[in-house]
Amino acid sequence: MDFDKQRRIMVDSQVRVNDVTEPSIVSAFLNVPREKFVSKSAQSIAYSETEIKAGDNRAMWTPRDLGKMLRALEPQSGDLALVIGAGAGYSSALLGRIVETVIAFEDSPEAVELMTERFASIGMDQAIAVEGDLAKGLPDQGPFEIILIAGMVETVPQAWLEQLAEGGRLGVVVSEGRSLGTARVYTKAGDSASYREVFECCPPVLPGFEKAETFVF
């Protein structure tokens, strides 16, 4: 199977056509082998326009949605980035082609070990896999210019926003109900962070960030 050819087709038919044309982002998609971040049984569909299971409660975004989110985050070469709920590590590897350092953050040792192996297999020195409590983030490693939440959530913990550097951007898809979501980019200014909505999408849900149930009498 010619994965290089499939990768080029993916970029031309799923990334560039959705107004994701920044050279650094396009180059990342062209140079990170997506097939290395899926199971062997899923390699035949690695470049299809679909979500692919990436472990327990994790799935890879479609290239279209991930490309649009990366474009909205405007990653720069000197940035320190954090990917929360990194799953297979693909989005972290893409960022690793653009920014100075990216931390792929997961809550299980198995996921961290697998990402570490995958990063090593493609010579990705800029990405580091770390285990911890996703809701708390990594305050001792920040502040971060880029934080990407690799799944749709209902609530955005304040701890994530507090770990942004001045001018830092946090990209997250917030559920609007009925499997619909809106991608937001929060930007830190002083002691607060405001957001803008950038596009609608429905990526895989990141469990553990649901709104508390309210009871109506």
- Looking at the 3D structure of the chain, how many domains does it have? 1
pTM of the model: 0.94
* Matching residue, tokens 């990917």: 83
Residue 213 inside a domain? The answer is no
- CATH number, position 78: 3.40.50.150
Residue 217 inside a domain? The answer is no
Q: Which residue positions in the chain have pLDDT lower than 50?
A: none
Residue 179 inside a domain? The answer is yes
pLDDT at 203: 87
Residue 181 inside a domain? The answer is yes
Looking at beta carbons, which pairs linking 26-31 to residues 24 or more positions away fall under 8 Å?
Answer: 27/97, 28/70, 28/94, 28/95, 28/97, 28/98, 29/63, 29/67, 29/94, 31/97
